[in-house]
Amino acid sequence: MAGSGTAHLRDSDDVVLDVRNLTVEYVGRRGERVFAVSDVSFDARRGETVGLVGESGCGKSSVAKAIMQLPPPTSGSVLVDGVEVTALKGAALRQRRDKLQMIFQDPISSLNPLRKVKDIIAEGLRIHGELSKREIETRVRTIIERVGLDPDTAPDRRPHEFSGGQCQRISIARAMVLDPQVVICDEPVSALDVSVQAQIMNLLEEMKARYELTMVFIAHDLAVIKNLSDRVVVMYLGKICEVADSDALFAAPLHPYTRALIQSIPEPDPEAGIQEAALSGDLPSPLNPPSGCRFRTRCPRVQDICSREEPEIREAAPGRFAACHFPLLEAATAPEQGELASA
Ligand SMILES: Nc1ncnc2c1ncn2[C@@H]1O[C@H](COP(=O)(O)OP(=O)(O)OP(=O)(O)O)[C@@H](O)[C@H]1O
């Protein structure tokens, strides 16, 4: 069910990650308030991949960091397997955070250049002090092999001796060695050469299947998450504007912003039936978001009410959630071609 931004978008016993009413505000250089994330709620079930998508600056990384408590959100809560991580401190937070790992955009700068690969990967295991030296060595060797690096030569080398793609493999090993339940991937391939992007995506898919991971996959480009996500959360200027199962969203987006994002994919699916103009204009400033609907300044369907009233996220079609006064219901509720033919 959905209601205001405070509502949960679904009821489920199998929810592993539950993000509720997350708000992130920064203080800018001149002391101004930056409203980076406003009242964002979504969840992810065991084994599910949720794609979080939106233009650069819409608040995706701020959501990721707030989930990781690095730093904690301004307000709101994050539950992992029913435990509220926002309420934890010290060792309890560290232990719970092991279940929640993050893979960053820039693999090279996210690895300590002074340390050997085996020490980078082993660090989390050592902090807990539960395993013997030998057990840690075995685990590190196994994970190095699983991410496709040479277990004989890689452990004693340092990050600068590896390519960007290999460094991302090391980051993935560092996350996976802690046996996490949830992995947040923040644009994990956008800093890599196109030729290695698919390899890293395949590795993430493989890890996801092997470890039954729940994943939040962040990207500014819908094309990247199209095949990977079970469900997609679309953000615009710090807020969620649409949530839907991936297939439904790509076949018939409800929010004009989602449609514009889909249109900006270089080779749109000709069967999607999308005709109107793609996204134009710049993202407004999060210092001073537009009144009413935040997307109204760029929306081809804008009407008077859009500047007066902010649309709440609601179930605009069965199982489809959108924050729009005029969602694109025509396409979402149109009968399938086959149904028409047999009618
Ligand atoms: N530490 C900070 N201090 C002030 N403003 C910040 C800070 N970090 C982010 N912002 C601002 O918050 C907004 C959201 O930024 P965020 O990095 O979360 O967006 P994003 O969608 O992940 O963008 P990108 O894909 O470019 O990383 C932006 O306007 C950004 O300039």
First to last CA, the chain: 32
Q: What is the pLDDT of residue 195?
A: 86
Q: Ligand 1 in contact with 59 (CB < 6 A)?
A: yes
Most confident segment among 46-50, 95-99, 109-113, 124-128: 46-50
Dist. CA 211 → ligand 1 center (Å):
31
ipTM surpasses cut 0.90? yes
Q: Which of 24, 58, 222, 235 to mutate to test the pocket of ligand 1 (most atoms within 8 A of CB)?
A: 58
pLDDT class of 93 with cuts at 50, 70, 90: confident
Alpha helix stretches (DSSP H) within 191-327: 194-211, 222-226, 246-251, 256-263, 304-308
Residue 196 CB less than 6 A away from ligand 1: no
Asked whether the predicted pLDDT for residue 84 surpasses 50, the reply is yes
* Domains by residue range for the chain, with CATH: 15-46+53-99+221-342 (3.40.50.300)
* Residue 16 pLDDT: 94
Q: Does the beta carbon of 57 sit less than 6 angstroms from any atom of ligand 1?
A: yes
* CB of 34 shorter than 6 A to ligand 1: yes
Residue 289 amino acid letter: P
**What is the per-residue pLDDT for 340?**
43
pLDDT digits (tens, 9 = 90+) for 292-304: 999 999 999 999 9
| pTM (predicted TM-score) | 0.89
